[in-house]
Chain A
Amino acid sequence: MNVDAKKMHQIEIQEYQNLVDGIKPKPDVLKNCIWAFLVGGAICALGQLMLNYLLSLGMSRIDASSTVSCIMIFLAAFFTGIGIYDELGKRAGAGSIVPITGFANAIVASAMEYKREGYIFGVGARIFSVAGPTLVFGFAVAVLIGLIKVFLSS
């Protein structure tokens, strides 16, 4: 009797789990990955196209690289403003987050939401709600590596 009740209980749990798995929306990993690959690849290829053009004008590699970053950031800020970048992001996922355009998108998207709190402590502060942590960790690692180099070469 006791064993039977236990068995029944286990079957119920199993059935419930099957039901949940059937209803729960599955992240369509393969589809998401293809989108991320295509959109991320396209953004980088666009960057390479600009880079190659600037290099062909005789610009140095460092200057050309910085210029491309600035243009990409400008474009991302603009397309976030008119609402197109976030539409793209719904499908592209990491493909629109990982490139530097995703960094600019995070800045504009979070700042826009806080206009109500004013242009100084609303927009001005919220610009850094995602960009802040990113820069903190980037600089922390860079300074640490710099200090290791100072230490090793002394």
Chain B
Amino acid sequence: MTPLYMAFLGGGLLCLIGQLIMDLTKANITPGHILVGYISTGAILSGLGVYQPLVEAVGAGATIPLSGFGHLLVQGTLKAVERDGLLGAFSGGVEAAAAGITCAIVFGYVAAVLFNPKD
């Protein structure tokens, strides 16, 4: 089991990188850009085999950031390709991320309906 301080350090550093990107680049980086950037970068690093060692070192520090979601999609896809071949390339991602995506849609919808924005 990964100790808590490792998760804290790893997750903190990944967020710090995001903050530096937002503060130091001239382009107007929105939260949406950060989310898209992290999921894509995480997926690419996962495909290159770089992300898994990071997960082993810092645990939730690497799986909770959205780059970990990209990693989950790619690992699910690769596993499904080994099992099912070509079909797996299209089924593996959703399969691995099914719970997270469904929770995000359902809880997200319910929360948006129940609560009103503060102003």
Contact = CB atoms under 8 A, between A and B. Distances in A.
Contacts of A142: 43, 70, 73-74, 76-77, 92-93
Dominant secondary structure at the B interface: helix
B80 to A, nearest CB: 7
Given A73-B100, A142-B74, A142-B77, A137 B8 contact: no
A98 B65 contact: yes
Nearest to A145: B47
Determine which residue in B10, B38, B72, B104 has the highest number of CB atoms from chain A within 10 A of its CB, and name it: B104
Given A27-B23, A103-B35, A142-B43, A45 B11 contact: yes
Interface string B42-85: 01101100000000001111011111111011101110110001
A131 interface: yes
Given A51-B60, A134-B66, A141-B47, A98 B38 contact: yes
A70 B63 CA distance: 13
Interface in A32-86: 32-33, 35-45, 47-49, 51-52, 55-56, 65-70, 72-74, 77-78, 80-83, 86
Contacts of B92: 142, 146
B110 A77 contact: yes
Interface residues of B, number: 82
Interface residues of A, number: 79
Nearest to A134: B35
Contacts of A3: none
Contacts of A72: 64
B24 A41 contact: no
Contacts of B10: 44
Interface string A90-114: 0001110111111110111101110
A74 B31 contact: no
Contacts of A141: 39-40, 43-44, 47, 70, 73-74
Given A73-B103, A142-B93, 15 more contacts: A33-B23, A38-B12, A41-B7, A41-B11, A44-B61, A65-B63, A68-B63, A98-B34, A99-B64, A107-B105, A111-B109, A137-B39, A142-B92, A146-B93, A149-B78
5 contacts: A67-B99, A78-B107, A80-B115, A111-B108, A145-B77
Interface of B: 1-24, 31-32, 34-36, 38-40, 43-44, 46-47, 58-61, 63-70, 72-74, 76-78, 80-81, 85-86, 88-90, 92-94, 99-101, 103-105, 107-118
